Structure 1
Amino acid sequence: MIKSFLKNKFLILLTLFFISFDSYCQTNSFKNSSPLNIPLIISGTFGELRANHFHAGIDIKTNGKEGYQVISLDEGYVDRIRVGTTGYGKALYIKHPNGLTTVYAHLMKFSPKIESFVKSAQYKKETYEIQLFPKDLEIKVNAGEIIGLSGNTGGSSGPHLHFEIRNSKNQKTINPLYYLDDIKDDRKPSIRSFYIFNNNDIHPEKMSKHQIKKINDSVYRSENVYTIGKISFGLNMFDRQSLSYNRNGVYKTAIYKNDTLKFEYNFNELDFEDSKFINLLRDYKTKKEKGITIQRIIKHPESKKSFLSNEYNNGFFNIKNNKEYFFTLKISDHKGNNSYVEIKITGKKIIDNFIKTEGKLIKTDQDYSIKLKDKEVVFKKNTLFENAYLNIKERNDTLYIDKDIYPLRNPMEISYEINNDDSLLIRQSFISRLNSKGKPTYIFTKKKDDKFHIKSSSLGIFFIAKDTLSPEIKPLNFYKGQWISKLKYLKIKISDDFSGIKKYRGYLNDKWILFEYEPKRNTLTYDFSDIIFKKTKHNLKIYLEDNVGNKKVLKTMFYRKY
């Protein structure tokens, strides 16, 4: 009786939550239902698992082109402006009277009045990358007003509009699909494979893949599973909308045990704090080694996970010997298209291959300082999410810290003794790490107390590297002494072969000018309409410096009438 009452009470509360959430979305609606004047086709969904964060908005396709008009969903004022070479690139944050903020990212350009405001600040501070917080009502916008043009700036890998809706008060992001135009979607989520994770004392995370058979267009059935002890589930899955071939993230995942809902998460809203635990929601080892995303249906005890609506035992289940269990995994998209995996598990002790543990045990609740010949590795408390045996060894200048198959909660610290008196060589040297493609990468390196110091968010192979070459500068659309009166923009190619560009400055007739830097194209672009010069002969100087202090200067001239 009590159990039934509690179950019914929970279902009532859950229903009330969704009713109140839908009501909230309806109350806080917008006058417009699309930030673009083209059909909405989604290439990235809300809550998708990205490299190191949950996707906080949706990505809207722009037909592979830049320059589509971006419009404000409602009246309001510009609350924040970001211009950067990474992340959101050029982005606008518009605060609305309904208590919500809309975000428009990877823009090519802002509208003229916003562009003028931004450039004024950039010239005042003599910097391209900038973050601005206009005063309340300083830059008003109307519903449907053009606020910019879609682009490909920042960390974007192709032209599109990244769009977000946030709660203005707490900055939690809300699934934009509740507010936008009806996006056609009659396709059910696809399930590629099904996994069980065994949690036992011998090997805390042993994963096994199980065959599934498609019964009809929405139901998959697993082979019979035999296991025992504490288990959890994982899926390799994706979702597609009707007009898109992109493999997007899934909106909702639920576990039913004997037809009773036990665990569920749905991406209605997200807290930015959730991203700290993203590498626990996928099998990190498989992702790093094979590039396959196995989404785990669990919750870490310390994770808030604002998208959880039911969290029985954090998604873990205890399988007892000689007992049968029936589970159903339900996967849903935002339109209510569902797919199911039916699983029968029989509790049976199986002979497991003994897995030898090698290396040093690093516990999460302790500090470790591992000293080698002329190197030191430091793991402070909570560097790792969970205890792990790590193989740590050295060979000459190379330091091997296991494979990058364990996610780090906080960066580890590495130091190398400096065994050289050559100041130039020391300046040009740094600690490098091999990336997943085996390519050396630059890591910001402090030089203090006769040591190189870095912090790394990944395990792997580290060594001392040198960057002895200066960056390169090359004019793209003009040559020295040329008349270029018809050009609207000045374009310069810059590049560095290793450590990367740290800073640049450009001067025209000894006056600082704004060059927009686009790392994906390795270009600097100057807009001639920024400053009007009366004379026709113009002297251009560009100063370039890489991350280890190698410098290059371009001095040239051209002729132009304004």
Structure 2
Amino acid sequence: MKKRIYLLAFLLVHLVSGQEKFPKDAFRSPLDIPLILAGTFGELRSNHFHAGIDIKTQQRQGLPIYAIADGTVTRIKVSHWGYGKALYVAHPNGYTSVYAHLQKFSPAIEEFVKKTQYQKRSYEIEVFPEYGKLKVYKDSLIAYTGNTGGSSGPHLHFEIRSSVSEKPTNPLLYGLDVRDATNPTLQGLYAYPLSPGALVNQSEMRVQIPFSRQADGSFLAEEIKATGIIGFGVAAYDRQDLAANQNGLYELEQKVNGTLISAFDFDSFSFGETRLINTLIDYEYMSKYRRRIQRCFKVAGNELSIYKQLKNDGKIYVEEGLNYTVEINLKDLAGNSTKVFIPVTGRREAPLKKKEVPKTERYIVAGKPNNFDLGKAKLYFPANTFYHDFYIDLRAKGDTVTVHNNSIPVQKNFTLSFNTEGYEESFLKNAFIARLDDELKPNYTKTYKRGNTFTTRTRNLGTFTLAQDTVPPKIRPKNFKSKQWLTNYRYLSLLISDDLSGIKTYEATLNGEWILMEYEPKTRTLTYNFDDIILDKKQCNLQVVVTDNVGNSTTFTSSFYRK
């Protein structure tokens, strides 16, 4: 009897928890405007999946943001890049909401942040307030929308995470209202021969498959002739009704002769697996053509948890003499869908396009650490730096080293070291390891110096060299002049820039006291708010010191009047 009661209770708990997996009425919208999205959850981004939704803010900053439910602020982070000004609120039901790219916080939170910044004498901070210290309530003002950090325009990046696992979940699963009656768009369809000897339309390499729209809105691909193990991929995007943005798909299904063999969706994923996006997409194609093909099959190194169904890794074994119908269904969260049907005939024909694997003297075994000595330079690739084995192209000429090319995705940081013995001390003082862009312009990589060794850790392949930066940063006033009366000014700002290695630090004092200046790298602007400190002198002496990444420094001084 006890066992039956326990089993019943167990089933009831799990039934309730299943129903409450994504509560539809627990949260309000963070904004009091219609929700129009510039980005969706799981959207394909550079080296990562998008962990939230990007809500358009009518091309404006300063719109009020409201707590989606009662809770307490558990984390505040202010940084020059990434999420910029970000706020994390834990809610009693086990979820945490995240608000990013903020212009500023609500008055009480802003006061707490400013106090911490002055204590740490730093604009960039990350703090974890004592639980319950900064309580918020549903519908209460918590921040204002902005464009800080890595944002490319005003919007609110909004997330809902598990407070325990910190895994982000799709915010649209919680009942937020976004108008969407638009089907996903299919841009391209591709077939891949995957096994030795496999062919698609007489090719051993990726083949683009033409398709046409049918009367019912679906698409029909041209018949392909194939043998061996093959797979398919799609280039596709989704749109909502009120925006032209090409957003990410929510779900993809693949069937063969009516049987589901692969399916994935973007309900949730973990941050630890987000870089595995480079195994979902055809990274080589993306690096060359700037378009992301999503594979309907798994490849080596793909450990993503997004799959709901996976039979034979989503790969299709095509036998000669048999016919197959492959159906790929693209879906959004509102239930809109786009289908493409691909007729496949098992027929072996003479190959016209053969796959050639470039071979070099050096071979990477992805599961093992790999060391290479190139004379003045050394490379160390930890185990699983790459997702698969391949021949790596390594070349060295003088103080320049080429580490393959950007067609191969990198999972972990690898180490590149230069022996600087024999270089003049005057050169080494301001030298750094640089990665050359397509126009051979050197870009700073964080460089560690120890004795005669310069070292950098990076996840970027390409060409590296030793470069020198001898030019200090530039500083000039933006909205004021020396000896000017600034009584009615709310803030003062300066423009700072560096021509090569980039800005590392900045510090400002007013009448000898440290002041907080906000740095916006996108506009190269330093801004000071006069509300921060009550000045007790008419004449104010400003000093700003800016230092670049190799130690060159510039000091700017000016004075102004205020009462």
Provide the TM-score with structure 1 as the length reference. 0.93
| Alignment partners' CA distance in 2, 1:366 and 1:403 | 21
Residue number in structure 2 paired with 1:248: 247
Residues 301 and 388 in structure 2, CA contact (< 8 A), matched pair in contact too: no
Q: Shift of the alpha carbon at 1:545?
A: 0.5
CA shift in 2, pair 1:94/1:338, >3 Å? same
Contact 1:103–1:165 (CA<8 Å) still a contact in 2? Answer: yes
The match for 1:165 is: 160
Question: Partner letter of residue 164 of structure 1?
Answer: E
1:223 and 2:222 correspond: yes
Contact 2:538 2:561 in 1 (8 A): yes
Moved more, 204-213 or 38-47: 204-213
Over 3 Å counting, the alpha-carbon distance change for 1:217 and 1:555 in structure 2 is farther
Q: Matched residues in 1 for 2:304 and 2:443: separation? A: 33
1:103 aligns with 2:98: yes
Corresponding residue for 1:51? 46
Contact kept, 8 Å, 1:188 with 1:218, in 2: the verdict is no
Deviates more, 1:248-257 or 1:340-349: 340-349
What are the residue-to-residue correspondences of 1:204-353 with 2, within 5 Å? 206-216=205-215, 218-300=217-299, 303-350=302-349, 351=351, 352-353=353-354
Does the 8 Å contact 1:90/1:108 carry over to 2?
Answer: yes
SS at match of 2:284: helix
Alpha carbons 2:53, 2:158 under 8 Å: kept? yes
Aligned to 1:68: 63
Cα deviation for residue 303 of structure 1 reads 4.4
CA drift at 1:160: 0.2
Shift of 1:18: 12
Distance 2:553 2:198 in 1: 52
Q: Does 1:505 align with 2:502?
A: no
Q: Which moved more, 1:518-527 or 1:191-200?
A: 191-200
- The answer to whether residue 44 in structure 2 is matched with residue 42 in structure 1 is no
Match for residue 151 of structure 1?
146
Unaligned runs of 5+ in 2: 1-13
Equivalent residue, structure 1, for 2:379: 377
CA contact (8 A) 1:420 1:426 kept: no
Greater CA deviation, 217-226 or 231-240? Answer: 217-226
Per the alignment, residue 359 of structure 2 pairs with 358
* Pick aligned residue for 2:457 from 455, 458, 461: 455
CA-CA distance at 1:203 after TM superposition: 10
In the alignment, residue 212 of structure 2 is paired with which amino acid?
A: K
Alignment check: 8 A CA contact 2:279 2:301 kept: no
Q: Deviations 1:378-419 (Å, cap 9, x if unpaired)?
A: 233212110111222123322222221000121222222214
> How many residues get paired?
543
Contact 2:205–2:354 at 8 Å: present in 1 too? Answer: no
Distance 2:407 2:155 in 1: 32
Which SS does the other structure have where 2:418 is aligned? strand
Instruction: Determine if contact 1:274/1:303 at 8 Å carries over to the other structure.
Output: no
Aligned residues of 1:41 and 1:243 also touching (Cα < 8 A): yes
Aligned residue for 2:244, secondary structure, equals coil
Match of 2:127 among 123, 128, 132: 132
Superposition CA RMSD, Å: 2.0
Matched, 1:30 2:32: no
Q: Deviation at 1:117?
A: 0.4
Q: Deviations over 1:209-250 (max 9, x none)?
A: 111111136311111112222222211100000101000000
Q: Which residue of 2 is the match for residue 6 of structure 1?
A: none
Q: Distance in 1 between matches of 2:15 and 2:235?
A: 27
Post-superposition CA distance 1:229-277 (Å, at most 9, x none): 2222211100000101000000000111111111110111121122131
Which range moved further: 36-45 or 313-322? 313-322
Matched-pair contact (CA < 8 Å) for 2:198–2:227? no
Answer whether contact 1:218 1:338 (CA < 8 A) is retained: no
Q: Does 1:193 align with 2:188?
A: yes
- Tell me how far apart the structure 1 counterparts of residues 506 and 379 of structure 2 sit (CA, whole Å): 34
Could you report, residue by residue, the CA deviation over 1:331-357 in whole angstroms, capped at 9, with x for unpaired residues?
A: 100110010110122223341425152
- SS for the counterpart of 2:21 is helix
Structure 1 residue 366: Cα displacement: 3.1
Give the deviation of 1:475 after TM superposition.
0.9
Q: Distance in 1 between matches of 2:263 and 2:165?
A: 24
**CA–CA separation in structure 2 for the residues paired with 1:89 and 1:107:** 7
Aligned twin of 1:9: none
1:90 aligned residue (78, 85, 93): 85
2:26 partner amino acid: F
Give the structure-2-normalised TM-score: 0.92
For structure 1, list consecutive stretches of 5 or more residues without a partner in the other structure: 1-16
Report deviation, 1:130: 0.4
Change (3 A) 1:319 1:68: same
Instruction: Rate the CA distance shift 1:379–1:304 in 2: closer, same or farther, 3 A.
Output: closer
The one of 525, 528, 531 equivalent to 1:526 is 528
Q: SS where residue 289 of structure 1 aligns?
A: helix
Deviation at 1:437, TM superposition (A): 6.1
Taking a change above 3 Å as real, the CA distance of residues 369 and 300 of structure 1, as seen in their structure-2 partners, is same
Structure 1 CA distance, aligned partners of 2:435 and 2:473? 21
**Hey, what does 1:14 align to over in structure 2?**
none
Q: Tell whether the 8 Å contact from 2:276 to 2:303 is kept in structure 1 after alignment.
A: no
Do the aligned residues in 1 keep the contact of 2:251 with 2:266 (CA within 8 Å)? yes
Aligned 8 A contact 1:203 1:355 in 2? no
Q: 2 CA distance for matches of 1:55 and 1:356?
A: 33
How far 1:283 sits from its partner (Å)? 1.0
Residues 167-186 of structure 1 correspond to what in structure 2 (within 5 A)? 167-186=162-181
Mapped partners of 2:167, 2:562: distance in 1:
50
Q: Is the 8 A contact 1:25 1:178 kept in 2?
A: yes
Task: Tell whether 2:427 aligns with 1:425.
Answer: yes
Distance change >3 Å, CA 31–CA 162, structure 1 → 2? closer
Matches of 2:268 and 2:405 in 1, distance apart?
34
- Change in CA separation of 1:441 and 1:201 when aligned onto 2, cut-off 3 Å: farther
Q: Distance in 1 between matches of 2:27 and 2:292?
A: 38
Cα displacement (A) at 1:159: 0.2
CA drift at 1:180: 4.2
SS at match of 1:487: coil
Report the secondary structure of 1:104's partner residue: strand
| Match of residue 7 from structure 2 | none
Aligned to 1:386: 388
Please state whether the residue corresponding to 1:122 is helix, strand or coil: helix
